[in-house]
Amino acid sequence: MSSLNFVQNIRQSQRQQKRLSIVIRWLIALLLMFFAVFPILWIVSAAFNPADTLATQTLIPRNAGFDNFTELFNSPVFPFWTWYWNSIKIATISTVLSVSITTLAAYAFSRFRFQGRVTMLKGLLLIQVFPGLLAMVAIFLMISQIGDLIPRLGLDTHAGLILVYMGGAMGINIWLMKGFFDTIPREIDESAMVDGASHWQIFTQLLLPLMRPILVVIGILSFIGTYGDFILARVLLKSTEQYTLMVGLQIFTSGQFSQKWGQFTAGALLGALPIMLIYLILQDQIVGGLTRGSVKG
């Protein structure tokens, strides 16, 4: 009987430890969820708070309404919808161009063998080590000088900003897409060449359909990076009509005596909608692209 009681005590202790482990996991999960969701709830609350201040902000505001949104849309000084359109336009164009050029470059690095290939790949990886802020002054001077020759690519132009975004997003994206290309068997290329297909036909008709997950991932990363950028857009854009949404919203909080936090949070809430919709619609493609592209490097 003593041995049976001993076994039962051990089993009971194991059950208690298992229950305690489950409780601790739930507590940690709830704590992390709270830290993740609380800032979003605070911004939503501030957007509907007519007091237009964060000093007396509460999670459930009194007299909640759409006053901040109304003032944001009808403001004669701050063209919110123009900023919104500028951000979407710049992010979309730079994403399409960047993904197109990145795909061609990754295909060349993955399938072709040429002199300097490894050195160029290492150079692209080395460039990503240095933060973009180190090149801010150089970028400003370069775009300014380009604008002297081609005004449409100079300062205070969307084309010049897109040009900078394209160059900055290609390094790590080439490595990520190359890793995805390496997972596709070369036998596909060889069998197509036996049938008389050219490299361009192989690339467009055989490989691109297989690259859809990673193309979605690269596109989303590029779109989010350019859509949410503030520093480059603030440095290169000067006029109010040319501002992106992130730069324009900064105006609401930069006043010395008239900081409009309610309108700022309302604009930030609306500005997050495109990113949220993209993630909800393409979440399956994002997971597939990231996992398959990390198999080989």
- Please report the pLDDT score of residue 94 as a whole number: 92
- pLDDT of 190 > 90? The answer is no
Mean pLDDT of the chain: 83
| Lowest mean per-residue pLDDT among 2-11, 13-22, 77-86 | 2-11
Pick the residue with more confidence: 9 or 278?
278
pLDDT-based confidence at 254, cuts 50/70/90?
confident
Q: What mean pLDDT do residues 50-75 have?
A: 78
pLDDT-based confidence at 28, cuts 50/70/90?
very high
- Please report the pLDDT score of residue 278 as a whole number: 86
For residue 79, the 8-state DSSP code is -
Pick the residue with more confidence: 4 or 207?
207
pLDDT, one tens digit per residue, over 282-291 is 777 666 655 5
Spatial distance between the Cα atoms of 294 and 297, rounded to a whole number of angstroms: 7
pLDDT-based confidence at 294, cuts 50/70/90?
very low
Spatial distance between the Cα atoms of 138 and 295, rounded to a whole number of angstroms: 36
Q: Which two tokens stand for residue 276?
A: 């949220």
- Please report the pLDDT score of residue 297 as a whole number: 42
- pLDDT of 174 > 80? The answer is yes
Pick the residue with more confidence: 218 or 129?
218
Spatial distance between the Cα atoms of 223 and 88, rounded to a whole number of angstroms: 9
User: Which domains, from first to last, does the chain contain?
Assistant: 2-69 (no CATH), 75-293 (1.10.3720.10)
What type of residue sits at position 9? N
- pLDDT of 296 > 60? The answer is no
Q: What mean pLDDT do residues 187-192 have?
A: 85
For residue 112, the 8-state DSSP code is -
What type of residue sits at position 71? E
- pLDDT of 1 > 60? The answer is no
pLDDT-based confidence at 256, cuts 50/70/90?
low
pLDDT-based confidence at 257, cuts 50/70/90?
low
Spatial distance between the Cα atoms of 89 and 226, rounded to a whole number of angstroms: 10
Pick the residue with more confidence: 167 or 148?
148
Q: What mean pLDDT do residues 246-270 have?
A: 81
- pLDDT of 66 > 90? The answer is no
- Please report the pLDDT score of residue 90 as a whole number: 94
- Please report the pLDDT score of residue 295 as a whole number: 45
pLDDT, one tens digit per residue, over 90-131 is 999 999 999 999 998 888 888 888 888 888 888 888 877 777
Q: What mean pLDDT do residues 43-64 have?
A: 77
The pTM for the full model equals: 0.82
| HEC-encoded secondary structure of 203-216 | HHHHHHHHCHHHHH
